[in-house]
Amino acid sequence: MYETPFHEQPLDNITFLVTGGAGFIGSNIVEYLLKYSVKKVRTLDNYSNGFRKNLALFAGDSRLEIMDGDIRDAAVCAAACAGVDVVLHEAALGSVPRSIKDPVLTNDVNVGGFVQMLTAAKDAGVKRFVYAASSSTYGDHPGLPKVEDRIGKPLSPYAVTKYANELYADVFGRTYGMEIIGLRYFNIFGPRQDPGGAYAAVIPLFIDAILQNQPPTLNGDGGQTRDFTFVENCVQANIRAALVQNPAALNQVYNIAVGDRTSLVEMYDILREEAGSDLAPKFGPDRAGDIRDSLADISKANNLLGYDPKVRIREGLRQTLEWFKANQEFIQARD
């Protein structure tokens, strides 16, 4: 992965902080930064959903500083932001069902922690703050494809927290003159995504099921569509947002997806083909808080960030499947 760089300017004079760096997307960003000669990358994580082992892969690299701590703690956030040029804020509690089960905790981390991080970045004079927003912000808006300025009502506590992030980012940009960019991710998947636990995302769950030869459960009729996005595209968006100089690109939110729509059944069929499996899925009830269809218009990110996703769903699923096959032991032994 990351055979082609997404940046022209050197990274060897930039210090990054990646919050949630031990998680799925965060650890992929770290991998890219280290591969392309970053000056320094610090991670901040409390390992509530991430894994130390995701970072152990890069152990011994003197440019990587691993900080343990919680984004809800102001002193931790201040220490994490000290000397940092760019924050890539990935730490949050993902999952719609988790937020329905425990809205207070999701709000504490995703909103409380977010404001702590924004404040610490402001106080430390961080030059750029890029954060993980979410397609869940489109809520009940029926329009397809999704365009950034047309959103509906949130459908879950998680969606409320991600929309609140956007509102805070906008206010911090205007009030304190900060350079902030929000990236509304659409169903990101790829290596190191966690297939375990009650709140696993659908692609690692399906891959795990195929590899264990246990039929996965598709929620609803499986006709729900998503703009599934390989993590390499998501990393590209972060790098471009971190480095973009065009003033018109700042203090904006962007859809980060591919611009393709695939149903759950179609996605599962691609996985089965790639894996050479004929395992039939089971069908379960619809999930609360989920939308039926999702598809992004990515022209804003293309025009203003130069974002150009290279990996489409089949290739991304193939690479992800290969990674899961080759890393079964690693996945079982993560802590």
Ligand X SMILES: NC(=O)c1ccc[n+]([C@@H]2O[C@H](COP(=O)([O-])OP(=O)(O)OC[C@H]3O[C@@H](n4cnc5c(N)ncnc54)[C@H](O)[C@@H]3O)[C@@H](O)[C@H]2O)c1
So which residues are the catalytic ones? 158
Closer to ligand X at the Cβ: 65 or 70? 70
Instruction: Give the whole-angstrom CA distance, residue 184 versus residue 169.
Output: 13
Closer to ligand X at the Cβ: 94 or 216? 94
Closer to ligand X at the Cβ: 280 or 288? 288
113 binds ligand X (CB under 6 A): yes
Closer to ligand X at the Cβ: 25 or 296? 25
Size of site (CB under 6 A) for ligand X: 30
Residue among 22, 15, 1 nearest 128 (CA): 15
Q: For residue 110, give both structure tokens.
A: 């995703």
187 binds ligand X (CB under 6 A): yes
Q: For residue 330, give both structure tokens.
A: 């690693």
84 binds ligand X (CB under 6 A): no
Identified binder of ligand X from the candidate list 16, 18, 49, 297, rule CB under 6 A: 49
Which segments of 51-159 are extended strands (E)?
A: 64-68, 86-89, 128-134
109 binds ligand X (CB under 6 A): yes
Q: How far is the CB of 201 from ligand X (least distance, A)?
A: 6
25 binds ligand X (CB under 6 A): yes
What totals of helices (H) and strands (E) does the chain contain, helices first? 13, 13
Residue type present at position 270: I
- Bond before 145 cis per omega within 30 degrees: yes
283 binds ligand X (CB under 6 A): no
134 binds ligand X (CB under 6 A): yes
72 binds ligand X (CB under 6 A): yes
Give me the residues paired with residue 65 across strands: 42
Burial environment of residue 252 by CB neighbours within 10 A (0 to 12, 13 to 18, 19 or more) = buried
- Roughly what angle, to the nearest 10 degrees, separates helices 313-326 and 264-275? 50
Q: How far is the CB of 247 from ligand X (least distance, A)?
A: 26
Closer to ligand X at the Cβ: 195 or 306? 195
Q: Which residues bind ligand X (CB under 6 A)?
A: 20, 22-26, 44-50, 70-72, 90-94, 109, 113, 132, 134, 185, 187-188, 194, 201
